[in-house]
Amino acid sequence: MSAGTIAAAVLTLAIFSFLYKENPFFRFAEHLLVGLSAGYFVVTGVQGILLPKVWEPLKSGDWLIVIPGALIIMILGRLTEKTRPLSRIPLALIVGAGAGLAIPAMLQARVLGQIKATIKPLDSISSVLILAGVIATLIYFFFSREHKGWWGKLATVGTWYLMIFFGATFGNTVMSRVSLLIGRLEFLLGDVLGLIK
């Protein structure tokens, strides 16, 4: 058995020990995960981004890279009180560009694309159910009119749709978490103990 397998098995058991109660083994494994993730991100960032996208263009005489390079350094200004205002310029650029890119893309995919899919011939039960669900749920989230009378009844139908959605999401969440447990037990019983053929 390799050292990696033994380390993974010990750390898995350390994390599982939390099911009994909080303990130093669990905390050690938890902090190790946070540290390793941060370290891995830094190494990946330096190797995959700083070297090919900043250092190599600079070496080959592409001086335009100095502008984004300066913005990177300005972000690091957050580290001291005196230089903190400098970091606002690149952050403003990131937020501005991000919002500019995100708003039309989200409108297109999440709103227009979905409305287009909702407005279609009512030639099947599912089409009718989808349209009814969209209208009833939108009514539930319309707060400028009191949910009373026929309006209130439609809003109640909207809550049924929401409850079905929450139930389906919870069921899928259970399935997802059980899958993770299956992965760990397959590792412990199979790779470590050799009990699974």
Taking CB under 8 A as the rule, does residue 186 contact another protein? yes
Cβ closest to another protein, residue 144 vs residue 179:
179
Exposure string (b/e) for 111-143, b if CB count within 10 Å is 16 or more? Answer: eeeeeeeeeeeeeeeeeeebeebbebbebbeee
What is the spatial distance between Cα 137 and Cα 135, in angstroms, rounded to a whole number? 6
Contact track, another protein, 58-97, x by CB under 8 A: ----------------------------------------
Cβ within 8 Å of residue 122, ≥6 positions away: 128, 131
37 binds another protein per the rule CB under 8 A: yes
Q: Is 117 in the site for another protein (CB under 8 A)?
A: yes
1 or 43: whose CB is closer to another protein? 43
SS3 per residue for 22-69: CCHHHHHHHHHHHHHHHHHHHHHHHHHHHHHHHHHHHHCCCHHHHHHH
Judged by CB under 8 A, which of 108, 124, 156, 159 binds another protein? 108
Binding site for another protein (CB under 8 A): 19-20, 37, 40-41, 44-45, 47-49, 52-53, 56, 98, 101-102, 105-106, 108-110, 113-114, 116-117, 130, 165, 168-169, 172-186, 189-190, 195-196
